[in-house]
């Protein structure tokens, strides 16, 4: 009888532990306003929450190194935008504004009240749109090799020519495009990996997203938000600091010389140190 009671008690304990585990496991998907399922990963505890948004034709795994680095101090969240990673493909228009709504939906799903948005490349523009949708919750924006010119979009003729190449031969065009985003002497293994990954992205969302981001003009988008804006950029392309400061008086750039577009992957230790420093500056305000 005693053995039966011990076994029964052990089973009950396991059952209660399993209930506790599932109760504490964070949600991994939510719905965007247009019904598209948005996948995300979250870990850690603490404020502000750090929400990572990937770039064009990438996914949330590009932030794995930063998620691991910060999860002991903050709640960290990495989002797959619609049409990317594990998120849904059932969207009619792939726009920066719609991607911003994806991020806002995740923030609302998790009930985050104090957020720093970190966006790589296209993710920088997406974060601006997300911040506009959830005013009062975002305490800072950190762009990663983005915000190079906060006042201009690409000319229409240039956009059309660029997109025509993607339409004609998506895979080869994307591979060539990715390789141009690294300096000479970059880690060839990393370059090959990213080129292969991005060139295998779904074509329709990729072209729609590229069309939107090339025509996106951040000018006046930050009006009324009154939040600090930073960029952690490579020096492969110039950053127009004056234009950024006209759009956000607090705009500040931190350079990582000698690197390419994927600074968080090319030199994660240096990048993580700058990211941690920047989060500290935002929270100290």
Asked whether residue 274 is assigned to any structural domain, the reply reads: yes
State how many domains the chain has. 1
Whether the pTM exceeds 0.75: the reply is yes
Range of the structural domain that residue 71 is part of: 28-153+219-284
CB atoms within 10 A of CB 152: 12
Asked whether residue 60 is assigned to any structural domain, the reply reads: yes
Q: What is the mean pLDDT of the segment spanning 70-75?
A: 98
Q: What is the CATH number of the domain that holds 261?
A: 3.40.50.1820
Sequence-distant (6+) residues with CB within 8 A of 141 are: 116, 117, 119, 124, 127, 128, 131, 227, 228, 229, 230
Asked whether residue 229 is assigned to any structural domain, the reply reads: yes
Q: What is the pLDDT of residues 239-269, one digit of tens each?
A: 999 999 999 999 999 999 999 999 999 999 9
CB atoms within 10 A of CB 155: 11
Asked whether residue 192 is assigned to any structural domain, the reply reads: no
Q: What is the mean pLDDT of the segment spanning 131-159?
A: 95
- The DSSP line for 48-107 is SEEEEE--TT--GGGGHHHHHHHTTTS-EEEE--TTSTTS----S---HHHHHHHHHHHH
CB of 153 closer than 8 Å to CB of 216? yes
Q: How confident is the model at residue 17 (pLDDT cuts 50, 70, 90)?
A: very low
End-to-end CA gap in the chain: 64
Q: How far is CA 263 from the centre of its chain?
A: 13
Asked whether residue 242 is assigned to any structural domain, the reply reads: yes
Asked whether residue 236 is assigned to any structural domain, the reply reads: yes
Please, how many CA atoms are within 13 Å of residue 179, restricted to the half-sphere of its CB? 11
What are residue 77's phi and psi, to 5 degrees?
Answer: -135, 135
CB of 89 closer than 8 Å to CB of 28? no
Q: What is the pLDDT of residues 40-62, one digit of tens each?
A: 999 999 999 999 999 999 999 99
Asked whether residue 178 is assigned to any structural domain, the reply reads: no
Asked whether residue 44 is assigned to any structural domain, the reply reads: yes
What's the pLDDT at 97? 98
Sequence-distant (6+) residues with CB within 8 A of 127 are: 53, 100, 103, 117, 118, 119, 141, 143
Q: What is the mean pLDDT of the segment spanning 12-34?
A: 56
**Rounded CA separation 71/146 (Å):** 24
């Amino acid at each position: 009888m005693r053995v039966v009671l011990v076994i029964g008690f052990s089973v009950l304990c396991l059952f209660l532990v399993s209930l506790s585990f599932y109760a504490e496991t964070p949600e991994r998907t939510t719905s965007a306003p247009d019904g598209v399922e948005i996948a995300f990963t979250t870990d850690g505890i603490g404020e502000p929450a750090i929400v990572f948004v990937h770039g064009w034709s990438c996914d949330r795994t590009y932030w794995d190194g930063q998620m691991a680095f910060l999860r002991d101090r903050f709640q960290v969240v990495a989002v797959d935008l619609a049409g990317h990673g594990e998120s849904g493909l059932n969207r009619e228009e792939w726009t920066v504004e719609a991607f911003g709504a994806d991020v806002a939906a995740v923030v609302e799903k998790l009930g985050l009240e104090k957020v720093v948005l970190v966006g790589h490349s296209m993710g920088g523009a997406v974060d601006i749109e997300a911040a506009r949708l959830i005013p009062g919750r975002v305490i800072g924006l950190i762009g990663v090799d983005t915000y190079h010119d906060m006042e201009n979009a690409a000319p229409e003729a240039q956009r059309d020519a660029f997109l025509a190449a993607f339409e004609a031969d998506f895979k080869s065009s994307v591979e060539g495009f990715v390789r141009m985003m690294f300096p000479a002497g970059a880690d060839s293994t990393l370059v090959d990996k990213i080129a292969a990954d991005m060139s295998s992205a779904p074509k329709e969302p990729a072209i729609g997203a590229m069309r939107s981001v090339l025509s996106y003009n951040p000018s006046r988008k930050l009006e009324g938000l009154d939040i600090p804006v930073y960029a952690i950029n490579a020096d492969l392309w110039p950053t127009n600091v004056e234009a950024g400061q006209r759009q956000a008086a607090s705009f500040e750039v931190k350079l990582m010389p000698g690197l390419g577009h994927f600074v968080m992957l090319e030199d994660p230790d240096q990048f993580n140190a700058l990211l941690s420093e920047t989060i500290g500056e935002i929270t100290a305000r």
